[in-house]
Amino acid sequence: MNAPVTHPASPLSDAPRRYQVKTYGCQMNVHDSERISGVLEDAGYERATSDDEADLVVFNTCAVRENADNKLYGNLSHLAPVKAGRPGMQIAVGGCLAQKDRSTVVDRAPWVDVVFGTHNLGSLPALLDRARHNETAQVEIEESLSAFPSTLPARRESAYAGWVSISVGCNNTCTFCIVPSLRGKEVDRRPGDVLAEVEALVEQGVLEVTLLGQNVNAYGMSFADPDTPRDRSAFAELLRTIGSVDGLERLRFTSPHPAEFRSDVIAAMAETPSVCPQLHMPLQSGSDRILRAMRRSYRRDRFLRILDEVRESMPHAAITTDIIVGFPGETEEDFAATLDLVERARFSSAFTFQYSKRPGTPAADLPDQVPADVIRERYLRLTALQDDICLQENRRLVGTEVELLVMAESGRKGAVTGRRTGRARDGRLVHFLAPDAGPDGAIRAGDLVETVVTEAAPHHLVADGGLRAHRRTRAGDAWEAGRTPSTPPIGVGLGMPGVGAPALTATASPAASCSEGCSA
170 is in an annotated binding site: yes
Check whether the bond before 255 is cis (ω within 30° of 0).
Answer: yes
List Cα–Cα distances, 290 to 316, 324, 337, 467, in angstroms.
30, 10, 10, 48
- Single-letter code of the amino acid located at 2: N
Question: Running DSSP on this structure, what letter comes out for residue 284?
Answer: B
CB 323 within 8 A of CB 355: no
96 is in an annotated binding site: yes
26 is in an annotated binding site: yes
The closest alpha carbon to 404, from 160, 156, 157, belongs to 160
Distance of CA 332 to the CA centre of its chain: 33
CB 290 within 8 A of CB 303: no
Distance of CA 335 to the CA centre of its chain: 28
Longest dimension (CA), the chain: 66
- Single-letter code of the amino acid located at 248: L
- Single-letter code of the amino acid located at 149: P
**Count of C-beta atoms within a 10 Å radius of residue 52:** 8
276 is in an annotated binding site: no
390 is in an annotated binding site: no
Burial of 39 (0-12, 13-18, 19+ CB in 10 A): buried
**Count of C-beta atoms within a 10 Å radius of residue 243:** 19
Enumerate the known binding-site residues for [4Fe-4S] cluster. 26, 62, 96, 170, 174, 177
Enumerate the known binding-site residues. 26, 62, 96, 170, 174, 177
